[in-house]
Structure 1
Amino acid sequence: MAPPPRFITPAGFARLRAEYEQLFASERPALVETISWAAGNGDRSENGDYIYGRKRLRELDRRLQHLSRIMKNARVVDPADQPDRDQVRFGATVQLADEDDQRRRITIVGDDETDASAGLIGWSAPLARALVGARVGDERAVRLPAGEKWYEVIDIDYPDL
């Protein structure tokens, strides 16, 4: 059975592809060269360059495999193509106000491109799930570990076509 698609924005997919290409085309060949050089120096049991290089190569290969799996299952969804722009959907940038009138701006993106410090919230996060389908002026409750919190949707924005 195929894994479910991983929704991602075009910008998020481009970042993943750029990381993959940088690791595969630049970092991995340089590391293989270092390991080869270190292996030629003789005793490998106490050769720090060889031991560290092999460990780093395994980590790098795991990351490349992970990125490859994500990109294979990725389903790129362009928020600019969203026909219903008055509701919160995938790719929407939403301005929220909480009970204390503290405002924050978030963008709902794929789970593989989240960055809470930049306001990028994964679409399966509790806050995003609570907001999907909301319109300007709607209030939504979000269940958080610290308790329930209410948010009002102040503004909804999508990228231009």
Structure 2
Amino acid sequence: MAKMNAETAELTQSGFLGTVPFARTLGVAFDDIDFGRAVMRLADRPEHHDHLASPHAGALFTLAESAAGAVVLGSFGDQLGRAFPVVVSVEARYDRSAVGDVTAEAVLARPREEILAELDEGRNPEIPLDVELRDGGGVVGRVRVTSTLRLQSR
């Protein structure tokens, strides 16, 4: 897949943040975006903390799900006329408490071409995305988000 140009990256970022108010509410921001990959950041803010004074699991979940959603939008935005993305399942593992700012790096875990072939066959393809959550000390958790492209009603 070709590298995402700056204009497409900006459209993906603004489109995502324009349609996901909760991500904006938390202050989730983009660090990097490309076809099949996104890195997003959640700044360390006391209002995001849990009882351990670290980022709340719900905030980390939102960060991970947002990065996965950005990958779907960036990789399949050209299909929005015939299908819309929907999360169908999430599996999260938190390995340790995060400290400070946290990033989520999401990657498409299946070739785009396979997903598009299923969509062309009239199916709602599964889109697996692997997300790593990291703070300054390394990995704090891993999330598997499975989305689909649901065909528009005809």
TM-score for the superposition, normalised by structure 1: 0.29
Q: More helix per residue: 1 or 2?
A: 1
Q: More strand per residue: 1 or 2?
A: 2
Q: Which has the larger radius of gyration?
A: 1
TM-score for the superposition, normalised by structure 2: 0.30
